[in-house]
Amino acid sequence: MERARTAKREILDMGLDDLTGLYEIIWRMNTLWPEIGVGEKYRLADEALRDLLKRDGVILIKQWDKKGQRHCETIAAEKTDEILRNPVSWYPGISDDPWTQIAYETTDAGEAMYSDFGKAI
């Protein structure tokens, strides 16, 4: 249970200042819990992210770069399950042309959860 809470706190923290790639969640977990397997890290990340999405604490964003221009588009709530179930969404870059990545951002509601972490999560 403590790992689940920590995972949520870390996800919120990373998404406060900038868009954060989903792969960065796993990187953070590698630092926090080097002793657990990669499958367990993906499970923890997926469950925490889904809970935060359900509670409007984060939003998913598709970002891509084409011809040197960065573009971002919020992913509709009805598409998040499909996106999260696709293992490629958790990789640093989905394709080369245009380069594409799935990221997230902490919302105002998520920032409030993070500020009041002990009660909100």
Q: What per-residue confidence (pLDDT) applies to 105?
A: 98
| Domains in the chain, CATH or no CATH each | 2-120 (1.10.10)
Q: Are 24 and 14 in contact (CB under 8 A)?
A: yes
Tell me how long the chain is. Answer: 121
The pLDDT tens digits of the residues spanning 49-97 come to 999 999 999 999 999 887 778 889 999 999 999 999 999 899 987 666 5
Within 8 A by CB and 6+ apart from 87, the residues are: none
Encode pLDDT of 23-59 as tens digits.
Answer: 999 999 999 999 999 999 999 999 999 999 999 999 9
Is residue 100 very low, low, confident or very high in pLDDT (cuts 50, 70, 90)?
Answer: confident
